[in-house]
Amino acid sequence: MAGLLTDLSKDLATTGLIAISQAINKGRDVGFGAIKDQLGAFQWSAILDGRECPECSDLDGKYFDPNNPNVSWIEPPLHSRCRCIYVGVLKDEIESYEVPVEDLTRADAANYARNKWWLGKAGVPSVKEIAKAEAARQAGKKIKNKPK
Ligand SMILES: [Zn+2]
């Protein structure tokens, strides 16, 4: 019983941390919406204190086009206990400093977002599903929906 309560407590703490991170990032989204016309990129910002995961460390400092449809898939939090945020970068800054904006493919986004279990089926397609769709696209075939 004590073990079960400890597990439940940990699950609740994890869920709470994800909700807090989502709320912080959604709040930032509202702010970015207000400067939508001036926004040139999102820059990934991780806390590099030795507790970061390899994915967040890899993403840290990278710039993404806010109009790339795959960007929302990797919006922080990337996983439970993720402390990352998107930083808004203005178009002027992107042009002045010739910032390299990443080409975030669907496969890359799905790979980064594979630990976003809370998105469920409605969220990001699996890496396997994307690879299959990409192979079919390259083969020039029409992708058919599987009967459910
Ligand atoms: Zn993170």
Strand bridging mode 39-45 / 85-90: antiparallel
Flag residues of the chain having pLDDT under 70: 1, 120-127, 130, 133-134, 137, 141-148
**Count of structural domains, the chain:** 1
Q: How far is the CA of 90 from the centre of ligand 1 (A)?
A: 22
Q: In what order do the strands lie in the sheet with 63-64?
A: 85-90, 39-45, 63-64, 101-102
Whether residue 148 is contained in a domain is answered as no
Average pLDDT of the residues of the chain: 84
| Single pTM value for the model | 0.74
Whether residue 147 is contained in a domain is answered as no
Q: How far is the CA of 58 from the centre of ligand 1 (A)?
A: 10
The pLDDT tens digits of the residues spanning 97-132 come to 888 999 999 888 888 888 887 776 556 666 677 677
Q: How far is the CA of 14 from the centre of ligand 1 (A)?
A: 14
Q: How far is the CA of 61 from the centre of ligand 1 (A)?
A: 12
Whether residue 38 is contained in a domain is answered as yes
Whether residue 107 is contained in a domain is answered as yes
Cβ of 107: how many Cβ atoms within 10 Å? 15
The reported pLDDT for the residue numbered 68 is: 93
Residue 43 backbone dihedrals phi, psi, to 5 degrees: -110, 130
The reported pLDDT for the residue numbered 81 is: 87
Residue 26: domain span: 2-138
Whether residue 21 is contained in a domain is answered as yes
Whether residue 144 is contained in a domain is answered as no
The reported pLDDT for the residue numbered 121 is: 59
Whether residue 47 is contained in a domain is answered as yes
